[in-house]
């Protein structure tokens, strides 16, 4: 597994990370064994970055129930900011952030978190500063080693320019490329670690129809880009093409991929280990088409 230093955090991380939204949102606590099979398959194969969130259903509890005993084998990143899981009170307050972090520590059965990220708040919340101060307090007290921002567009640019955050998690895929021209250079200038979310565009690239409501815009863009014909040098496997495009972006440190199925996890790992890189000409053509066809194709949040 290819490893990277995650910006100024100094953390050594696998370029392929395991996203936990699917297991958290789709599996119940009665399906702990399946969650454990997915997460242990990832760790066994060399993935050492787990990405979750307070609002990913049961994900934090499932992590605690299945891989807490392997805590020294992975970097653990979570997110906070939304009023979920029984919290009574407004979103984006210092109290909520503190409560969320304490619950994450308890549910994932760990004494510390490696990264806590604000989860998609707008510029107005960032400018107010209350939740950022709460994150910094959690860092100073040892509850988290580093802090990050997870989001897109103008808010992501604000987070970068502030110099406060150690990492940026942002949408980047074949169908969603604006981070490359709007965010990556500035983030690297701050020595931030960059984490790519939604790297396979919710499965829309190469699909015969939109896989879900969340993928509708990605699928629309795919159709427009595909009208120009075959991609020179592109592999036949549409998921390999999507992964190869992301792994061909040097600024991206971690590519987050989630699944419910251990065999799918192993398949993704095999693609990364054995079938990359894809030809440069395919990557360049995909970049060119997006740039030429981009009609206010902002990042999908």
Per residue in 54-70, pLDDT tens? 999 999 999 999 999 99
**CB burial of residue 142 (10 Å; 0-12, 13-18, 19+):** exposed
> CA-to-CA distance for 104 and 60, rounded, in angstroms?
7
| Beta strands at 49-51 and 16-19: parallel, antiparallel or unpaired | parallel
> CA-to-CA distance for 94 and 129, rounded, in angstroms?
9
Angle, CA 238 vertex, CA 236 and CA 240 arms, to 5° = 90
**pLDDT (average), residues 150-155:** 97
Residue 85 pLDDT level (bands cut at 50, 70, 90)? confident
**pLDDT (average), residues 115-130:** 96
Residue 262 pLDDT level (bands cut at 50, 70, 90)? confident
> CA-to-CA distance for 129 and 47, rounded, in angstroms?
34
CB 282 within 8 A of CB 248: no
> CA-to-CA distance for 254 and 247, rounded, in angstroms?
9
Residue 301 pLDDT level (bands cut at 50, 70, 90)? confident
> CA-to-CA distance for 108 and 118, rounded, in angstroms?
18
> CA-to-CA distance for 73 and 125, rounded, in angstroms?
34
Q: What percent of the chain has pLDDT over 70?
A: 100
CA atoms within 13 A on the CB side of 236: 0
Flag whether pLDDT at 268 surpasses 90.
no
3-state DSSP assignment of residue 209: coil
202's torsion region: left (phi>0), alpha (psi -120 to 50) or beta? left
Walk me through the domains of the chain, giving residue ranges and CATH numbers.
3-293 (3.20.20.100)
Comparing C-alpha atoms, which of 225, 204, 199 is closest to residue 214?
204
Comparing C-alpha atoms, which of 54, 63, 75 is closest to residue 253?
75
Mean pLDDT in the chain? 95
Q: What percent of the chain has pLDDT over 90?
A: 91
Flag whether pLDDT at 261 surpasses 90.
no
Q: What DSSP line would sit under 250-262, residue for residue?
A: TT--EEEEE-S-H
């Amino acid at each position: 597994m290819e490893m990277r230093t995650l910006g100024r955090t100094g953390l050594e991380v696998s370029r392929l990370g395991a996203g936990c939204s699917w297991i958290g949102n789709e599996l119940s606590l009665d399906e702990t064994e399946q969650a454990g099979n997915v997460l242990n398959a990832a760790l066994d194969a060399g993935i050492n970055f787990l990405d979750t969130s307070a609002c990913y259903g049961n994900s934090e509890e499932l992590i605690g129930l299945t891989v807490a005993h392997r805590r020294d084998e992975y970097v653990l990143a979570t997110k906070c900011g939304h009023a979920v899981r029984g919290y009574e009170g407004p979103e984006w307050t210092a109290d909520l952030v503190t409560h969320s972090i304490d619950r994450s520590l308890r549910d994932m059965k760990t004494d510390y978190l490696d990264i806590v990220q604000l989860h998609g708040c707008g510029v107005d919340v960032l400018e107010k500063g209350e939740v950022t101060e709460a994150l910094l307090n959690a860092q100073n007290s040892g509850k988290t080693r580093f802090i990050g921002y997870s989001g897109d567009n103008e808010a992501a640019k604000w987070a970068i320019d502030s110099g406060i955050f150690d990492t940026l998690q942002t949408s980047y895929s074949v169908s969603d490329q604006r981070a490359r021209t709007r965010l990556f250079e500035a983030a690297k200038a701050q020595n931030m670690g960059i984490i790519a979310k939604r790297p396979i565009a919710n499965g829309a690239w190469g699909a015969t129809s939109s896989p879900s409501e969340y993928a509708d815009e990605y699928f629309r863009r795919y159709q427009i880009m595909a009208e120009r014909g075959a991609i020179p040098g592109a592999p036949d496997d549409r998921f390999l093409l999507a992964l190869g495009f992301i792994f061909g972006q040097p600024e991206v440190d971690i590519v987050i991929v989630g699944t419910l199925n251990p065999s799918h996890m192993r398949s993704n790992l095999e693609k990364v280990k054995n079938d990359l890189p894809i030809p440069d000409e395919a990557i360049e053509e995909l970049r060119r088409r997006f740039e030429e066809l981009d009609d206010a194709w902002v990042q999908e949040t």
